[in-house]
Chains A and B, each alone.
Chain A
Amino acid sequence: MREPGHYPYAPYTGRPKITWPGGNRLAFWVGANIEFYEWAPPPSNTRSVWYQPEPDITNYSHRDYGNRVAFDRMADVMADHGVRGSVSLNVALCDHLPGIIDRCCELEWELFSHGIYNTRYLYDMTEDQQREVIRDARDTIKRASGQTLDGWLSPAVSNIETTQHVLAEEGIKYTLDLMHDDQPTPLNVRAGKLISIPYAIELNDVPFFNFRGLSTSEYVTACKAQCDQLLEEGEESGTVMCLPLHPYVIAQPHRIEAFSEILDYICSKSGVWLATGREIADHFLDHHEASFRDWLGMDRGATA
């Protein structure tokens, strides 16, 4: 039977205790998907890129709203709350729209990679091809921001069987491609070391609003409840709450104030660590990863 094979079963009970900096119970981070959709992408063998015969102007223009209008609106709200973003970046955007990257850097947001374009999937790639994509992403982010590439979300979550192994070999610290947990977990990779950070796909605004057609009011309720529950569980051992967002969805004029209300709520709670993906990964790697591996009877992992 096929299965991911990236982690052993780890029940959500009896785990080594996670403590976050400052004695906080919940690590909260915003995954800001800043994406570039190609006007005329090459076809994929695995999925159709658009939903209608190209040009699919309805879906293209809906997404294009993000880079033209919504990004700055979202960034303003986050800056007002003192919340930094961790950018799931289609790195070609550094070449196309560098002004957006400049603002991310001014705001001290983390840049990690979401592939080159959101219209180029990892499906059917060889390991060398994936390696080329990762190295391109690393070089581009370094050139545009001076940052190291530490995190990864496969473009359009198109990761395949080999992806996590190649990520580890290329020195990526954390992946968001797996949705199996509310805490960071160490992964089995054939060389190097890789951990998973929770990405909370259930609260991702694209599936929530675009695919499932749920309401903004329900989203506000869901995000507050997610925060309450994970904070409560964080009493026992630190948890992670992610808001995986897209400017073109969350920063619509009719929805942006709901986002602000969600951040008001989360920021008002004591016990919340406002973090980035990289900060969560580093803390877990420095303080908890080894004890998780020991508890799970996993290999300690080679030092990369």
Chain B
Amino acid sequence: MTLARTYLDYSKRRPGLDHDRFDYRRLLRTDLPATWPNGKLLALSISIYVEYFPMDMPREPILPPGGMQRPGTSFWDYTLRDYGNRVAIFRLMKALGSAGMRATAAFNSEAARRYPMLVEEAKARGWEVAACGVDMGQLHYGDMDEARERALIEQSRQVLCDLSGQPVHGWYSPGNTQSKNTQRLVTEAGFEYLSDWANDDLAYWLTSSAGRIVSMPLNLELSDRRFLFEQNQPLDEWERRSIIGIAYLCQEAEKRGIRQTSLNLTPWIIAQPYRIASLKRVLAAIAARDEIWVATTGEIAAAWKEFGE
């Protein structure tokens, strides 16, 4: 097999990045405000994925983590994800409530449609309602049809606006996958921020022909899905690393200016009876630090746009 001569052409080899989705920013060499407007050093959001995994979801082109993996009809997988919406999310709400913290619930609109009570419960707790597509069987990927993707985004937004009676400002792509057009379509649909990218410890602007949208950092490595579900790392290690990472960012912020992070949590994973105490200890460690501002993703995005840009 010979390789085409063009394989050694580098047409985008130039200063800056090789795409125009966002500008390069070197965080530790950027002048930043010393604190957030309320005097805090680290803004921390808690993102809760409220998902619906259809029993007959397709495995192609992408099976998201937690998708129906078992052979045959997977009652096992389906009902365990369903456990998240029946039991675990209430346990999680209680833990956050006890810690005095509010979260952002990123809903698959199908989960909200099936269980509208969850939207009410989130609102009653002062949580933000954000959109996470329609369901886990309808991911945004690669070259998918643009009209279909636009319709999925609109369906998700509309259902969640109707059920919550509020505008929905935040977008989380289901399974954290995007098509080539997702960023533009989400911007066109009027969302204020998008939380899919794991490349920073502070918000930044994403740009497309539709304009700008704020990228709110995803804490990929410490998400319960990656750490506990995909990598099967020990729970005490998750607890330890979460606390260490937050402490480190506080310390770095003190020297170099504001920082931001998130806890990305999934009820059917982190709110199992045997895991919730670990989460409670992480929340206690956060609560014990005066320099942390715990807020919804939308509130932090709004503050960053006003102030930190």
Contacts and interface: CB of A to CB of B under 8 A. Distances in A.
Contacts of A67: 24, 26
A52 B28 contact: no
A45 B252 CA distance: 43
A257 B179 CA distance: 36
A53 B62 contact: yes
Contact of A129 (B3, B180, B201): B3
B28 A73 contact: yes
Contacts of A1: none
A55 B25 CA distance: 21
Contact of A65 (B7, B199, B241, B248): B199
A92 B12 CA distance: 10
A252 B237 contact: no
Given A52-B141, A52-B177, A58-B198, A39 B18 contact: yes
B248 A254 contact: yes
A220 to B, nearest CB: 11
A96 B16 contact: yes
Contacts of A125: 3, 7
Most buried by A among B18, B142, B173, B233: B18
25 contacts: A38-B18, A42-B6, A45-B3, A52-B142, A53-B61, A53-B143, A55-B178, A56-B177, A57-B173, A57-B177, A58-B196, A58-B220, A61-B197, A61-B198, A61-B218, A62-B198, A65-B198, A96-B13, A96-B17, A96-B18, A97-B16, A123-B3, A124-B1, A124-B3, A254-B244
A221 interface: no
B239 to A, nearest CB: 11
Given A38-B18, A57-B177, A96-B14, A213 B199 contact: no
Given A40-B19, A55-B178, A57-B178, A132 B8 contact: yes
A213 B6 CA distance: 36
Among A69, A76, A125, A133, the one with the most B-chain Cβ atoms within 10 Å of its Cβ is: A69
Interface of B: 1-3, 6-8, 10, 12-19, 21, 24-29, 61-62, 141-143, 173, 176-180, 196-201, 218, 220-222, 230-234, 237, 240-242, 244-246, 248-249, 252, 261
A69 B201 contact: yes
A64 to B, nearest CB: 4
Among A45, A58, A96, chain B packs the most CB atoms within 10 A around the CB of: A58
B220 A62 contact: yes
Given A54-B180, A215-B237, A253 B261 contact: yes
A68 interface: yes
A49 to B, nearest CB: 12
A120 to B, nearest CB: 7
A117 interface: yes
A255 interface: yes
A57 B1 contact: no
A146 interface: no
Contacts of A254: 221-222, 241-242, 244-245, 248
Given A62-B220, A68-B24, A213 B18 contact: no
Interface in A26-73: 38-40, 42, 45, 52-58, 60-62, 64-65, 67-69, 72-73
A253 B28 contact: no
Nearest to B178: A57
B282 to A, nearest CB: 12
Nearest to B27: A69
Contacts of A45: 1, 3
A126 interface: yes
